[in-house]
Amino acid sequence: MLGTTPIKVFLCAAGLLFCPPAMAQEAAQEPAHEPDDVIVDLADHSIEIDLGFKGSNLLVFGVTGDGDDIIVVLRGPDRRETVRRKERIGGIWINGSSMTFRDVPSFYAVAATRPILDMGIDADFLDYYQIGNDRMGFAPVRPDPGLAVSEFSDALVDHRVAQGLFTQDPIPVKLISGRLFRTAIDLPSNVSTGTFSVRVYEVKDGKIIGRRQTPLSIKKVGLEARIYHFSREEAFLYGIFAVLVALIFGWLVSVLFRKG
């Protein structure tokens, strides 16, 4: 995608302020045909969660173009997230002040050939591409002048890291004979479902010279998916079903274990 209109994208990335978002989107969606571009693929484009799901491992691999370094970002669907701070009231800890952030990824992992700071990429680019836990620019839905945004956004990131849903430090990316790259990203059992995006950035001399994106779908399948969808889409019938199962169970027990 960069091959066709590199100048346009770079201008847009560098001068984010005067660039209309529509233009950035258009650039991002443009297909690329340049042979020197970075190429990426996944061992599996679809991960299935069933009743036995204990987590998974996503293999990302590809070929670099002219770049020296590779950064891989795996990002789950965005959603709103509320951070609540406990406060001590009358001796017990109660949820007090809260802040709701928009566009928080449900999963976020970064993998790189070496520490990102060592690559010398301009901070504006990292912010623009949202590379790094502290580069996502989490914004509250309703800003509260009495509360420090950074306090709550830091807590948000810490929590996600503790849940295994954000990476603390980049996962290593292996570069083989300078051109083939490969990395494996762990997906824990509490990973969310939906369409994830795998974005690969190619870096040379502190500049992002190529990028590529490919989707990953994580969905519930089998009995697990049926039960989940039943509970969400036919909630009333699901409730009735749950009660009926319990009634039959209870009745069977009283018949089977009847005394005398």
User: How many whole angstroms separate alpha carbon 22 and alpha carbon 13?
Assistant: 13
Which of the residues 94 through 153 are near another protein (CB under 8 A)? 94-95, 98, 100, 141-142, 152
**Which listed residue (20, 29, 93, 177) binds another protein by CB under 8 A?**
93
User: Site map for another protein, 2-31, x if CB under 8 A?
Assistant: ------------------------------
Q: Which is nearer to another protein, 157 or 185 (CB)?
A: 157
Which of the residues 159 through 178 are near another protein (CB under 8 A)? 159-160, 162
Q: Please tell me what DSSP assigns to residue 143.
A: -
219 counts as binding another protein under rule CB under 8 A: no
246 counts as binding another protein under rule CB under 8 A: yes
Q: Which is nearer to another protein, 33 or 142 (CB)?
A: 142
**End-to-end alpha carbon distance in the chain:** 79
Q: Please tell me what DSSP assigns to residue 140.
A: B
**Which listed residue (23, 28, 176, 247) binds another protein by CB under 8 A?**
247
Element (DSSP H or E) covering residue 180? strand 180-187
**Chain position carrying tokens 């509260």:** 144
Q: Which is nearer to another protein, 50 or 169 (CB)?
A: 50
Q: Which is nearer to another protein, 86 or 174 (CB)?
A: 86
DSSP string of 205-247, one letter each residue? TTEEEEEEEEEEEEEE-HHHHHHHHHHHHSHHHHHHHHHHHHH
Residue type present at position 55 = G
Q: How far apart, in Å, are the Cα atoms of 182 and each of 91, 101, 225?
A: 52, 33, 31
Q: Which two tokens stand for residue 24?
A: 């950035």
Q: Which is nearer to another protein, 130 or 231 (CB)?
A: 231
Is the separation of the CB atoms in 172 and 183 below 8 Å?
A: yes
Residues at the interface with another protein (CB under 8 A): 49-55, 79-86, 88, 91-95, 98, 100, 141-142, 152, 155-156, 158-160, 162, 189-190, 220, 224-225, 227-228, 231-232, 235-236, 238-243, 245-247, 249-251, 253-254, 257-258
